[in-house]
């Protein structure tokens, strides 16, 4: 499975794993040993583990969402997303708020966080958010919900 990771100095195409910037092909410069991955999309297996862990936690509430939205690292990206529809802000919010709460966070919470969105392929159990970036590759976050309207998966797709 191929995944994109954003590091402090480059975009790295990673074939497996994402805890640090591994040896890989980069678009800008080779990663250094100190190049920490900032965000990396969770694999379906990782999301399944997150959902399993979150099953025993209390339901996600609006107060939980507001608390996360006020945290400085999320508040900055939230402003950037709302003002400019930045892909990198969308990535940070999906990876920092939505994915860690998979199995708990509901569609109404995602809409409150990211705003309204259209269903992907007219599927009522998905929302499609598109960010702007110079390289229009995998700029759409398709957030998938189950029958209870809780997040089950996030896919990054191109137009």
Same domain as 95, residue 67: yes
pLDDT at 19 over 80: no
Same domain as 46, residue 32: no
Same domain as 29, residue 18: yes
Sorted by sequence, the CB contacts under 8 Å of residue 37 that are 6+ apart come out as 5, 6, 7, 12, 18, 19, 20, 21
Lowest-confidence segment of 50-54, 67-71, 75-79, 145-149 by average pLDDT: 50-54
- For residues 20 and 30, give the distance between their C-alpha atoms in angstroms, rounded to a whole number: 13
pLDDT band at 29; cut points 50, 70, 90: very low
| 74-117 per-position pLDDT tens digit | 999 999 999 999 999 999 999 999 999 999 999 999 999 999 98
Same domain as 75, residue 147: yes
Helices 107-114, 62-70: inter-axial angle, 10-degree rounding: 30
Same domain as 109, residue 46: yes
Same domain as 51, residue 33: no
- For residues 74 and 76, give the distance between their C-alpha atoms in angstroms, rounded to a whole number: 5
pLDDT at 137: 86
pLDDT at 69: 92
Q: Residue 146's CB: how many other CB atoms inside 10 A?
A: 13
Same domain as 15, residue 27: yes
Residues spanned by the domain of 61: 42-157
pLDDT band at 58; cut points 50, 70, 90: confident
pLDDT at 12 over 70: no
pLDDT at 34: 33
Same domain as 46, residue 17: no
Same domain as 28, residue 8: yes
pLDDT band at 10; cut points 50, 70, 90: very low
User: Which tokens in the block code for residue 9?
Assistant: 């100095």
- For residues 150 and 126, give the distance between their C-alpha atoms in angstroms, rounded to a whole number: 10
Q: What are the residues facing 156 on neighbouring strands?
A: 141
pTM of the complete model: 0.70
Same domain as 104, residue 53: yes
Same domain as 68, residue 128: yes
Domain count, the chain: 2
- For residues 122 and 120, give the distance between their C-alpha atoms in angstroms, rounded to a whole number: 5
Q: What is the DSSP letter of 126?
A: E
Same domain as 84, residue 99: yes
């Amino acid at each position: 499975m191929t995944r994109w990771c954003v590091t402090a100095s480059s975009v790295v195409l990673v074939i497996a794993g994402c805890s640090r910037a591994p040896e890989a092909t980069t678009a800008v410069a080779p990663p250094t040993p100190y190049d920490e991955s900032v965000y990396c999309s969770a694999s379906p297996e990782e999301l399944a583990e997150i959902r399993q862990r979150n099953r025993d936690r209390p339901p996600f509430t609006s107060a939980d969402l507001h608390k996360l939205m006020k945290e400085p690292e999320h508040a900055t990206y939230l402003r950037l997303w709302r003002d400019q529809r930045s892909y990198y802000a969308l990535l940070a919010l999906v990876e920092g708020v939505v994915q860690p709460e998979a199995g708990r966070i509901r569609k109404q919470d995602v809409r409150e966080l990211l705003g309204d969105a259209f269903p992907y392929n007219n599927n009522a159990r998905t929302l499609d958010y598109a960010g702007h970036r110079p390289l229009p590759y995998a700029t759409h976050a398709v957030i998938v919900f189950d029958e209870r309207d809780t997040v089950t998966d996030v896919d990054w797709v191109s137009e």
